[in-house]
Structure 1
Amino acid sequence: MNLEVEVISKVIIQPSSPTPERLRRYQLSFLDQITPPVYNPLVLFYPEKCDTQESKIEISNQLKQSISNALTYFNPLAGRIRDNLFVDCNDEGIPFVEARVKCQLSEVIKDPVPLELNKLFPFDLYDAGELPLGIQFNIFDCRGIGVGVCISHKLGDALSFFTFVNMWAAIARGEKKLVTPEFVSASLFPPRSITGYNPNIRQTKEKIITKRFVFTASKIEEIRGKYADKTSSENPKRPTRIEALSAFIWSRFVVATKVISRPDTFCAVFHLVNLRTRMDPPLADYSFGNLYSFATTVPSMDSRENCHNLVSQIRDSIRKINVEYVKKVQDGQDHLDYIKEIAERPIRGETSFFSCTSLCRFPLYEADFGWGKPIWVGSAARASTNGVIFLDSASGDGIEAWVNLKEEDMAKFDCDEELLAYIAPKNN
């Protein structure tokens, strides 16, 4: 469906109290520096809350005031990013857009089109410059709400995103006991010169399509069973949900793009991994910043067709992201050299990279602004190709896979019979 979105107003919201002078310069970490300048987007949907003009104004004011209060705990989000080195925490504030969406909320949730959801955000998601944060308050004809939030990936990863949104929601509903963020990333991963490496995502001239595929709990269990290690017949080892779905989607991608017929192509599957739990001592979930790395799996020729092997390779590569690995990343140079090598591979020859990001079991559905928790949380269309983002479904037991592929590849992937046998109907 085509969303018609009309911007009603746009204001700049500043922190409710000024940032202390000692906190005015926020240093980016090494991991922040090498992270692409894009926005992490999610839109949270709530049913029929703005049933009168007075309630719309009340909710809008509630959001604005609570954002202003929340920004006093997240000073960098109200500042401006400078030279990929630091944030000037100058309290300039963040844009807050109010928009009218001329359709029913139920229509969007029933049949979401990722590219259309991009209209519910205040920014082009691949044009993250100085502004760290933007919010769009969308009101549907049924008086339902969609809160579109995008935070610059330069400042924080997905868990940082939820740390902000859920604390903002807690302030809005009047919570007094707040868990404040810890800004420790630059002290743990000191900034360094990244001369010779450009963190910008290389844009392709080809059209990229994002589609959403839903896997129910029962189908996920079927896939897990399909890829279980049956070397022990008494107690077969089953892969995790994400290991199984990653292997399954990769296998269908391989078929769609005919990678098997190009044996000289270098293939790699990347999984983003949260480093907080893999440090010594572990960091709290509310530690703010880019505290992630990626596990690299180079599928063997056998695993291009045999996903049992790929599942074990994925598991092994993720297991290697341990305390010793984190120490090497903290040193910086070896990790920088490695990502430079990965970035240069497409220039040197034919490659097929595929990235997997899981937000499953993250606090995706916890943002209660005083109106209850969201009935659905959606992502957006991406401009980067060959990737999948996994989100928990609203039911809590299924998984949504938001897949980005070149248009010609998606046309083949989307009609793959084995894929269609496992996904729920009516996905976009």
Structure 2
Amino acid sequence: MLIPSFYVPFIFFYKADESRGLTSSNHVHLSQQLKQSLSNTLTSFYPLAGRIEDDVVVVDSCDSGVEFIEARARVQLMNVIQGPEIEDLKQYLPLDPTTGEARRLLVVQITFFDCGGVALALCFSHKVADCTSIVAFANAWAATCRGETEVSRFSFNLGSYFPARDFPGSDFWGFLLSDENYVTKRFVFDEEKLAALKQEATSSSLKDPTRVELVSAFIWKIFMEVAKSKNQEARKAYAALHAVNLRARKIPPELLQNVFGNCMMSGLAFSDANVTCDQYEDVDELRDLVSKLRSSFKRISDDYIAESQTGDRYLNDLYEMLSQVLKGELEYCSFSSWCRSPVYEVDYGWGIPIWLGTTALPLKNLTVLVNSRCVEGIEAWVNMKQDNLEMLETQFKLIPSTGLKDLDACG
């Protein structure tokens, strides 16, 4: 499989709401309600109750169940989510996503705060599900918890659309896993910062860059600048890998719309290759990188997907890129956007989440993009080496901003 074995963490935070029954005195009832609705939901998402077998290729749908952990935090929820620290957020997870192989496919933890609010964390194995799939599961579970009987149904036949193939670079994926040299930091791009980036990137040939394009290009640019400063004589190319959801790109879209699994490919964008540091001064402007990212997204068309279904087009492109990395000819950073996933619609009957967080990320040079609570902004969770993060923070602070905290700005 093309996805290495690791967990992706989601933490949904819900503010106390007495009118909806979310209070500090109602925790036992809430816990039982969650467990029962989870059990009912798993009948429609049965693979998540299984395990990864020893060969880490086959999912054993053994109905082993999902581990459900209850915890209590003697703090106020709002104190946790205002300026959250990554290490502090880890305690609201049922496990450390950066250690060990993801044999269990889904692990859940509910944490009750003194104020009556809760944090509901889901850690899922990326071996079996992408962000679209797991958010669909979360919304189905939430609907069941609210008492709804009609929930969306999903198929688990992704393999019939994309038959299994041998990939000679499969051993490479262990190289991508993060280690102690990598640190995760959160950056909040508010409306004013995004407007400033948009003004810089827009040109006569590049219209209406999206929020995801702008933030991804900005981070990619800083990543390249740091890499080039370390070895100014090196002649390297720099790539950005961006996860692309195939469900809306396949024609007709309904074909893959309700398919559960890793229904995605990486769009591959490359900087101008084989130039040294001093030659880069006027080459990779923000607008150039936005344009390259956009082209990489457009390349994953219905025709490209069809050729990858019946042949090895995508695998060949990916293998060529990975071969350059192993030869030391190319450095990369990768991105995954959750901005189109309805994470702020996951309502278990207590109202929508006040915030969605994640924690330390398991892959080197990975950035996860999520809508801020106000939707107009974007939170970038960046996992890189410390010197990359320091440069990124320096340049980030130079972008004009309102200076308002993202949660406070939403009221």
Normalising by the smaller structure, the TM-score range is: 0.7 to 0.9
Unpaired runs of at least 5, structure 1:
1-32
Alignment check: 8 A CA contact 2:24 2:113 kept = no
Alignment check: 8 A CA contact 2:6 2:362 kept = no
Structure 1 residues 332, 116: CA separation in 2 closer, same or farther (over 3 Å shift)?
Answer: farther
Alignment check: 8 A CA contact 2:176 2:364 kept = no
Match of 2:250 among 252, 255, 279: 279
2:13 aligns to what? Answer: 45
- Pair 1:103 & 2:82 matched: no
- Pair 1:243 & 2:243 matched: no
Look up the SS of the partner of 1:65 in the other structure.
helix
Structure 1 residues 341, 417: CA separation in 2 closer, same or farther (over 3 Å shift)?
Answer: closer
Matched AA of 2:181: K
Report the Cα distance in structure 1 between the residues aligned to 2:47 and 2:122, rounded to whole angstroms.
16
- Pair 1:180 & 2:153 matched: yes
Report the Cα distance in structure 2 between the residues aligned to 1:172 and 1:205, rounded to whole angstroms.
38
Structure 1 residues 416, 272: CA separation in 2 closer, same or farther (over 3 Å shift)?
Answer: same
Matched AA of 1:35: I
Unpaired runs of at least 5, structure 2:
273-279, 407-411
Tell me the alpha carbon deviations over residues 205-260 of structure 1, each in whole angstroms, 9 at most, x when there is no partner.
552111111111232122112111235xxxx7221121122122222333344459
Alignment check: 8 A CA contact 2:7 2:102 kept = no
Report the Cα distance in structure 2 between the residues aligned to 1:406 and 1:253, rounded to whole angstroms.
10
- Pair 1:128 & 2:107 matched: no
Look up the SS of the partner of 2:242 in the other structure.
strand
Structure 1 residues 423, 401: CA separation in 2 closer, same or farther (over 3 Å shift)?
Answer: farther
1:211 aligns to what? Answer: 185
1:396 aligns to what? Answer: 375
Report the Cα distance in structure 1 between the residues aligned to 2:258 and 2:245, rounded to whole angstroms.
12
Q: How many pairs are equivalent?
A: 390
Look up the SS of the partner of 2:194 in the other structure.
helix
Alignment check: 8 A CA contact 2:184 2:383 kept = yes
| 1:262 positional shift | 4.7
| 1:164 positional shift | 0.4
| 1:314 positional shift | 1.3
Look up the SS of the partner of 2:394 in the other structure.
coil
Report the Cα distance in structure 1 between the residues aligned to 2:170 and 2:110, rounded to whole angstroms.
37
Structure 1 residues 311, 129: CA separation in 2 closer, same or farther (over 3 Å shift)?
Answer: closer
1:26 aligns to what? Answer: none
2:276 aligns to what? Answer: none
1:35 aligns to what? Answer: 3
2:197 aligns to what? Answer: 223
- Pair 1:345 & 2:324 matched: yes
Matched AA of 2:121: G
| 1:101 positional shift | 1.9
1:253 aligns to what? Answer: 223
1:409 aligns to what? Answer: 388
Report the Cα distance in structure 2 between the residues aligned to 1:336 and 1:361, rounded to whole angstroms.
26
Match of 2:345 among 366, 369, 391: 366
Matched AA of 1:241: R
- Pair 1:79 & 2:50 matched: yes
Tell me the alpha carbon deviations over residues 34-71 of structure 1, each in whole angstroms, 9 at most, x when there is no partner.
11111121100011255344x10000000000000000
Report the Cα distance in structure 2 between the residues aligned to 1:196 and 1:106, rounded to whole angstroms.
45
Report the Cα distance in structure 2 between the residues aligned to 1:372 and 1:341, rounded to whole angstroms.
47
TM-score normalised over the length of structure 1: 0.84
Match of 2:28 among 29, 54, 57: 57
2:142 aligns to what? Answer: 169
Alignment check: 8 A CA contact 1:214 1:424 kept = no
Structure 1 residues 102, 326: CA separation in 2 closer, same or farther (over 3 Å shift)?
Answer: same
Computed over aligned residues only, the root mean square deviation of the Cα atoms, in angstroms, reads 2.3
After superposition, where does 1:266-345 map in structure 2 within 5 Å? 266-282=237-253, 283-300=255-272, 301=280, 305-331=284-310, 333-345=312-324
Alignment check: 8 A CA contact 2:52 2:102 kept = yes
1:8 aligns to what? Answer: none
| 1:297 positional shift | 0.7
Matched AA of 1:224: K
Look up the SS of the partner of 1:182 in the other structure.
coil
Matched AA of 1:271: H
Report the Cα distance in structure 2 between the residues aligned to 1:337 and 1:255, rounded to whole angstroms.
29
Report the Cα distance in structure 2 between the residues aligned to 1:367 and 1:348, rounded to whole angstroms.
44
Tell me the alpha carbon deviations over residues 287-329 of structure 1, each in whole angstroms, 9 at most, x when there is no partner.
2111000111111257753122222111111111001211222
Structure 1 residues 402, 262: CA separation in 2 closer, same or farther (over 3 Å shift)?
Answer: farther
Structure 1 residues 335, 238: CA separation in 2 closer, same or farther (over 3 Å shift)?
Answer: closer
Report the Cα distance in structure 1 between the residues aligned to 2:28 and 2:224, rounded to whole angstroms.
51
Segment of structure 1 superposing worse, 92-101 or 242-251: 242-251
Look up the SS of the partner of 1:276 in the other structure.
coil
Alignment check: 8 A CA contact 2:52 2:59 kept = yes
1:16 aligns to what? Answer: none
| 1:385 positional shift | 2.5
Identity of aligned residues (%): 36
Look up the SS of the partner of 1:247 in the other structure.
helix
Structure 1 residues 344, 208: CA separation in 2 closer, same or farther (over 3 Å shift)?
Answer: same
Tell me the alpha carbon deviations over residues 1-41 of structure 1, each in whole angstroms, 9 at most, x when there is no partner.
xxxxxxxxxxxxxxxxxxxxxxxxxxxxxxxx211111121
| 1:272 positional shift | 0.8
Look up the SS of the partner of 1:261 in the other structure.
coil
| 1:265 positional shift | 2.1
Alignment check: 8 A CA contact 1:302 1:309 kept = no
Structure 1 residues 262, 426: CA separation in 2 closer, same or farther (over 3 Å shift)?
Answer: farther
Report the Cα distance in structure 2 between the residues aligned to 1:58 and 1:415, rounded to whole angstroms.
47
